């Protein structure tokens, strides 16, 4: 690896310091089957001009989601007012540096404080932190809080929680000695579990990954009656404009993804998670919290407080080592919510529900298609297809339509089904276009089948 600046003497000195005789011994804990065993096969270096051309060709392969998109599955395209980008593009906000010096960072601190306040009002909780990486790691932080609070080893996670989130939880708890047990679904909704005395938390998602609105009060009650914490994940905060706040029906922790309010899809990131809790769990929260205070002259001010993260205390004592301020993304969420207000957010929610209800009814009329679940939903639904969903999605993509999410990889029992999403941006003519294309694709499939 000629691009590394270390000499052989440097390497030998480092090995001596760490007490290992050779590089081979340094990596002895890695099984041989997982090692490459050869030099990297890297292409020749490019000139700057050729490199820029190559990157441009790669970027041109991205297909921007348009109003002909019916793809959700945890990332949602709502209307974002132009003013959001106008505010977040100001040079005052173009830094990722943490506002340690309160006297020089009052504007940034106030923006984070407003973000926390808005999250609390949406979720019905007492306190929220200054944001975490994304919805999956927010749920992980919530679970780690529950394990530390209850000192119990097991976590019950609904199968209706986003598959990526469940994967992150399983990874972290496997490394930390925790146990994850999944709660099955019945007709698309989480069964009320038997919660034992060894359970630290029950984790649900409302609405769940399949678009169904869970019985949050019953699931939270089952958790709390057994002394476990009730954790509710919300992957589209717009839904909280029409659904009851989790804090009102007994949630101890509410986490989720805030991307749908203020952030574009951006081909998968950066996004911004949120985490809110009851007041008695305040000191278990990871990340940073911004508090309201007063200076020596009685003037209102903002400051960082309760910074239970590895930058401020010993790493092994930190509540989490995966949290971040995510200040610019949180600012976009704050500006968006401030612009819409309660009524604007409610209109976005009702528009999404109306569009989804129309789409569900219309697509179920296409020959061969049917709705899988009949329970209440928000803006996603599961559509059973007469031909493989992957085949339909490929055909729709060729026609400029993102038709949804094939569920077979995450839910084998739904291998013949699509998860379809609508927001206020999906017009009736878009739905009609999707219905006509699906009918044509099925007909073409029938004609070529021997």
Last residue of a domain, one of 280, 314, 337: 337
C-beta separation of 372 from 383 below 8 A: yes
Q: Are residues 390 and 244 in the same domain?
A: no
The number of distinct structural domains making up the chain is 3
Q: Is residue 17 part of a domain?
A: yes
Taking only the tens place, the pLDDT of each residue in 337-347 is 999 999 999 99
C-beta separation of 176 from 145 below 8 A: no
Boundaries of domain holding 169: 82-337
Q: What is the mean pLDDT of residues 169-189?
A: 92
SS3 373: coil
pLDDT reported for residue 40: 85
Whether 122 shows a pLDDT value over 80: the answer reads yes
Q: Are residues 307 and 373 in the same domain?
A: no
Q: What is the mean pLDDT of residues 180-201?
A: 97
pLDDT reported for residue 418: 98
CA distances from 390 to 163, 270, 281, 395, 406 (A): 18, 27, 44, 9, 6
Q: Is residue 50 part of a domain?
A: no
Cα dihedral 170, 172, 177, 182 in deg (nearest 10): -20
pLDDT reported for residue 95: 62
Q: Are residues 149 and 24 in the same domain?
A: no
Q: Are residues 145 and 167 in the same domain?
A: yes
Confidence at 59, pLDDT banded by 50, 70, 90? confident
Q: Are residues 360 and 326 in the same domain?
A: no
Mean of per-residue pLDDT scores for the chain: 91
Taking only the tens place, the pLDDT of each residue in 271-326 is 999 999 999 999 888 877 899 999 889 999 998 887 655 455 566 666 676 666 67
pLDDT reported for residue 194: 95
Q: Are residues 121 and 206 in the same domain?
A: yes
Looking up tokens 């709705």, which residue turns up?
Answer: 371
CATH of the domain at 390: 3.90.1150.10
24 sits in which H/E element: helix 23-26
- Is 45 or 341 the better-scoring residue by pLDDT? 341
pLDDT reported for residue 178: 87
Q: What is the mean pLDDT of residues 441-446?
A: 87
Looking up tokens 């007063």, which residue turns up?
Answer: 294
Query: Quick one: which of 231, 234, 278, 229 has its CA closest to 259?
Result: 234
Q: Are residues 318 and 412 in the same domain?
A: no
Q: Is residue 284 part of a domain?
A: yes
Whether 24 shows a pLDDT value over 80: the answer reads yes
Confidence at 38, pLDDT banded by 50, 70, 90? confident
Q: Are residues 169 and 202 in the same domain?
A: yes
Last residue of a domain, one of 318, 337, 356: 337
Taking only the tens place, the pLDDT of each residue in 235-249 is 999 999 999 999 999
Taking only the tens place, the pLDDT of each residue in 371-384 is 999 999 999 999 99
Last residue of a domain, one of 337, 352, 370: 337
Q: Are residues 279 and 151 in the same domain?
A: yes
Q: Is residue 61 part of a domain?
A: no
Q: Write out 293-324 in H/E/C secondary structure.
A: EECCCCCEEEEEECCCECCCCCHHHCCECCCC
Q: Are residues 16 and 100 in the same domain?
A: no
Q: Are residues 275 and 249 in the same domain?
A: yes
Q: What is the mean pLDDT of residues 211-236?
A: 97
What percentage of the chain reaches a pLDDT higher than 90? 72
Question: What is residue 378's DSSP assignment?
Answer: S
Query: Quick one: which of 428, 443, 368, 423 has its CA closest to 80?
Result: 423
CATH of the domain at 296: 3.40.640.10
Looking up tokens 């009320």, which residue turns up?
Answer: 192
Q: Are residues 317 and 394 in the same domain?
A: no
Q: Is residue 407 part of a domain?
A: yes
């Amino acid at each position: 690896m000629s691009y590394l600046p270390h000499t052989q003497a440097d390497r030998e000195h480092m090995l001596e310091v760490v007490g290992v005789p050779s590089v081979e011994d340094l990596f002895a804990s890695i099984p041989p089957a997982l090692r490459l065993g050869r030099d990297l096969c890297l292409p020749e270096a490019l000139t700057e001009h050729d490199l820029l051309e190559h990157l441009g060709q790669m970027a041109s392969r991205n297909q921007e989601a348009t109003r002909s998109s019916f793809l959700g599955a945890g990332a949602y395209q709502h209307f974002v007012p132009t003013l959001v980008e106008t505010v977040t593009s100001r040079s005052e906000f173009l830094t990722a540096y943490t506002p340690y010096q309160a006297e020089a960072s009052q504007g940034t601190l106030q923006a984070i404080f407003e973000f926390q306040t808005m999250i609390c009002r949406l979720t019905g909780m007492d306190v929220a932190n200054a944001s975490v990486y994304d919805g999956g790691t927010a749920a992980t932080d919530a679970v780690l809080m529950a394990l530390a609070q209850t000192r119990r080893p097991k976590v019950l996670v609904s199968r209706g929680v986003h598959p990526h989130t469940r994967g992150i939880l399983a990874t972290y708890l496997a490394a930390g000695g925790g146990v994850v047990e999944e709660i099955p679904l019945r007709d698309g909704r989480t069964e009320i579990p038997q919660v034992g005395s060894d359970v630290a938390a029950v984790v649900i998602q409302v609405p769940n990954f399949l678009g169904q609105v869970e019985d949050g009060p019953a699931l939270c009650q089952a958790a709390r009656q057994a002394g476990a914490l009730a954790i509710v994940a919300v992957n589209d905060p717009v839904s909280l404009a029409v659904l009851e706040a989790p804090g009102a029906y007994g949630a101890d922790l509410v986490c989720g993804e805030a991307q749908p309010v203020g952030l574009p899809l951006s081909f998968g990131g950066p996004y911004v998670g949120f985490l809110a809790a009851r007041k008695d769990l305040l000191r278990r929260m990871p990340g940073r919290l911004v508090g309201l205070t007063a200076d020596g002259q009685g003037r209102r001010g903002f400051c960082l407080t309760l910074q239970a993260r590895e930058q401020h205390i010993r790493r092994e004592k930190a509540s989490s080592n995966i949290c971040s301020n995510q200040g610019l993304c949180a600012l976009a969420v704050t500006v968006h919510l401030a612009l819409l207000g309660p009524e604007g957010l409610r209109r976005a929610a009702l528009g999404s529900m109306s569009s989804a209800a129309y789409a569900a009814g219309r697509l179920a009329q296409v020959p061969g298609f049917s709705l899988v679940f009949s329970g209440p939903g928000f803006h996603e639904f599961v559509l059973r297809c007469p031909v493989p969903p992957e085949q339909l999605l490929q055909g729709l993509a060729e026609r400029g339509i993102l038709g949804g999410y094939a569920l077979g990889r995450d839910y084998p029992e739904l291998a013949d089904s699509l998860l379809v999403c609508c927001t206020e941006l999906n017009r009736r003519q878009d739905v009609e276009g999707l219905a006509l294309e699906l009918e044509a694709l099925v007909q073409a499939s029938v004609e070529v089948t021997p």
